[in-house]
Structure 1
Amino acid sequence: MFKSTAHALRFVSVAVCAAAALTATPTAEAKGLKIGFSQVTLQSPFYVQLKEGAQAAAKANGDELIFLDANGDVNKQNNDIQDLLTRKVNVLIVNPVNPDAVAPSLDAASRAHVPVITVDRAAHGSVAAYIGRDNVKMGELSGKALVAALKKKGVTSGKIVEIQGDAGGTVMQDRRKGFHNAFNGTGFKVVEGPYSEYIRANAVTAMQDLLQANADLKAVVAHNDDMALGAMQVLQEANRKDVLVAGIDGLSEALNAIESGNQYVATALNDPRYLGDITIQTAEQVAAGKKVPSFVDAGTEVVTKDNVRQIKHDGLFGEYRPKVY
């Protein structure tokens, strides 16, 4: 479901010195690769689409993609990575459950001369490249658009409830930082809600409790659109259409809500299929022994009522596909 360039580079500071070892046995054409992909979870539409984007790109290049779902379990992810290394993959893609806990497995891949690419979330350990988006920027863009919408209504202070992603995750930390950057000095107070794992059903439960405890709230932000939509459902059921909502990821359902109503006011694009595509392209570049940036930024853009009709969103997510390679 998750980073400023500086932040990302800090996580992959070992990448430059490790790159030569990681690509010690390049494939000349980088065709017909065996690529391992350890995914954090499939309990989110974002991660399902990320998987599908990677699968489509791998198929188009004649690669074999071996996909394993950690289901949010650190131990399972480490076991999955060992399994992929045993299967002699040419390149390993990891979307880490936890950036620290996965480091020993990434180092094991380095010792086996298997280059590692992380996607969506940065990680510690031996990494050739990290593919993601600037999650601090996404939080700032969505948060600033929310503040502008509140001020347009004449609301200049009050509580903004924040529904958070996963405890300890780098995406959560960066999106929280971005939102807080947007709200600092504005007169609004952030009420940090529970970690809801980017899952709508969890956000529904969280919002029910948060609404009872903060009946005077002015707005809700969530670390992804799925949770934000869950929060909006609770607000509408409680006849609180006065409370504005903003999220991140560019889920088409959120874009439709922005276009058709006045409660959901902003999101930031995070096209997961394109992220999967770029990840496979990067894997092929690395396998061919080519230099790639330590941080590959897939880009983002804020969406509000002003520009929502310009964004193609007939799939699960709004499309945002700037040229990377």
Structure 2
Amino acid sequence: MAARMNRTRGTALIGSVVVALALSACGGESSAEAEGEGSGSTGNCAPEDITLVGQVRNQTNPYEAAWLAGGDAFAESVGLEQQKLTYDGDSQQQQEQIRQVLASGDASCTVINALPNGDSDTTPIVNAADSADAWLVTQWNKPADLDPTEYERWIAHLTYDGVESGYQIAKALFEEMGGSGGVIALQGILDTAAAQDRFLGLQKALEEYPDIELLDDQTADFDRATALEVTRTLLTQHGDKVGGVWAANDDMALGAVQALEAAGVDGVAVAGIDAVPEALEAIADGSMTATVSSDGPWQGAVGLAMGYCAATGELDVASIDADDRAFFAEQFLITEDNVQEFSDPQLDMSEFDCDSLFSRATGPIAAS
């Protein structure tokens, strides 16, 4: 990924000077401090004292690897390094990694940009960070009733409208199939809002296409190797009735493509979500039909940028609009018609300036 390193705030050295001057101009304390109300929602960390942590399941998933690459790009732009953590889908390991990070230094200057393994994993992550006064951004998974506005240093939770993305790729898939035929569906990790919502999007599209039949749906855990085996099994069971494969992410879609190629099956449409480079190549060469961009590099960078701005005092968390504390981010449907526009992604580093962090917010996540 060729991320541009020139940020509007300038180089890391210049950015550090600007932050220091800004803090000096404020006398080193916020208006809340002056009024005796505490300063839980703003920080006063020197940039060089900040620890940036990005945590995802693994780096073999190209989307999550791209997330960490975006985090690296942001960290480099402010003269820091990102500490990269992976937990291989093990919730206990994820929690232990967070505990170790929080115990290893000044947690008040620690920034964590985390992908919780499942909805139920978000609460202990939030509680651990809150108890340690660390800065936290979470993405994708959280219980509907867990609200960042009730915390001072849980800056934001961002995700994508999974119902809409699942619906968009289903419609593209069904149109490619001519509006009729049989489909198999590869679901993600079922204890995640992303998997649940995307499957709801598929069901919404099925209601609009009465001549499309859902032959079977099985979980493949967002994993390519698992998807290959599940697709192979479903092809054996359903044979030439399969005209399309709907997958809840690109890694599973690419596993399905491998299974189809190994079985010598042509003419089956495949759609996924994430817009990873291999999926874009597959769309360009015709072996996949569609994907939806959730821009992993931007996610990896923006979470760290939010924490960095809060830790330095450039962002007052209490001043963030409530709708931006838990929000849907912008996403894009990609097909053969526009795939070239997304084939060479570039990070626009100006999006990570402290006054631009919520520029991709499209609306609040509604509580269920």
For 1:150, the equivalent position in structure 2 comes to 177
For 1:111, the equivalent position in structure 2 comes to 131
Structure 2 residue 100 is matched with structure 1 residue 83:
yes
Contact 2:53/2:304 (CA < 8 Å) preserved in 1?
A: no
Residue 117 of structure 2 aligns to a residue in which SS? Answer: coil
For 2:156, the equivalent position in structure 1 comes to 129
Contact 1:165/1:196 (CA < 8 Å) preserved in 2?
A: yes
- Per the TM alignment, residue 28 of structure 1 is displaced from its structure 2 partner at its CA by 6.3
Distance 2:334 2:302 in 1: 22
Distance 2:45 2:90 in 1: 36
Residue 219 of structure 1 aligns to a residue in which SS? Answer: strand
Residue 129 of structure 1 aligns to a residue in which SS? Answer: strand
Contact 1:196/1:202 (CA < 8 Å) preserved in 2?
A: yes
Runs of 4+ with deviation above 6 angstroms: none
Tell me the TM-score normalized by structure 2. Answer: 0.73
Distance 1:53 1:94 in 2: 13
Contact 2:188/2:220 (CA < 8 Å) preserved in 1?
A: yes
Q: Matches of residues 27-46 of structure 1 in structure 2 within 5 Å?
A: 27=44, 32-46=49-63
Q: Matches of residues 233-244 of structure 1 in structure 2 within 5 Å?
A: 233-244=258-269
Residue 189 of structure 2 aligns to a residue in which SS? Answer: coil
Residue 256 of structure 1 aligns to a residue in which SS? Answer: helix
Cα gap change, 1:105/1:149 in structure 2, threshold over 3 Å: closer, same or farther?
closer
Kindly, what percent of the aligned residue pairs are identical? Answer: 26
What are structure 2's unaligned runs of at least 5 residues? 1-36, 358-368
- Per the TM alignment, residue 197 of structure 1 is displaced from its structure 2 partner at its CA by 2.2
- Per the TM alignment, residue 220 of structure 1 is displaced from its structure 2 partner at its CA by 0.4
Cα gap change, 1:80/1:210 in structure 2, threshold over 3 Å: closer, same or farther?
same
Residue by residue over 1:216-240, the C-alpha shift from the partner in whole angstroms, topping out at 9 and shown as x without a partner, is: 1221011111211221222233332
For 1:203, the equivalent position in structure 2 comes to 227
Residue 214 of structure 1 aligns to a residue in which SS? Answer: helix
1:139 alignment partner AA? G
For 1:273, the equivalent position in structure 2 comes to 297
Contact 1:37/1:92 (CA < 8 Å) preserved in 2?
A: yes
Cα gap change, 1:94/1:309 in structure 2, threshold over 3 Å: closer, same or farther?
closer
- Per the TM alignment, residue 59 of structure 1 is displaced from its structure 2 partner at its CA by 2.2
1:73 alignment partner AA? D
1:285 alignment partner AA? C
- Per the TM alignment, residue 282 of structure 1 is displaced from its structure 2 partner at its CA by 1.3
- Per the TM alignment, residue 27 of structure 1 is displaced from its structure 2 partner at its CA by 2.2
Tell me the TM-score normalized by structure 1. Answer: 0.82
Q: Matches of residues 149-168 of structure 1 in structure 2 within 5 Å?
A: 149-151=176-178, 156-168=179-191
Distance 1:21 1:306 in 2: 53
Cα gap change, 1:43/1:167 in structure 2, threshold over 3 Å: closer, same or farther?
farther
Residue 120 of structure 2 aligns to a residue in which SS? Answer: coil
Cα gap change, 1:25/1:244 in structure 2, threshold over 3 Å: closer, same or farther?
closer
Residue 160 of structure 1 aligns to a residue in which SS? Answer: strand
2:297 alignment partner AA? R
Aligned residues: 297
For 1:290, the equivalent position in structure 2 comes to 316
Residue by residue over 1:39-98, the C-alpha shift from the partner in whole angstroms, topping out at 9 and shown as x without a partner, is: 233341111111121122012113353332222111111111111111233223221112
Structure 2 residue 224 is matched with structure 1 residue 189:
no
Residue 71 of structure 1 aligns to a residue in which SS? Answer: coil
Distance 2:202 2:38 in 1: 38
Distance 2:56 2:279 in 1: 24
For 2:330, the equivalent position in structure 1 comes to 299
Contact 2:165/2:273 (CA < 8 Å) preserved in 1?
A: yes
For 1:214, the equivalent position in structure 2 comes to 238
Distance 1:193 1:25 in 2: 46
2:90 alignment partner AA? D
Residue 185 of structure 2 aligns to a residue in which SS? Answer: strand
Q: Matches of residues 66-77 of structure 1 in structure 2 within 5 Å?
A: 66-77=83-94
For 1:12, the equivalent position in structure 2 comes to none
Cα gap change, 1:259/1:36 in structure 2, threshold over 3 Å: closer, same or farther?
closer
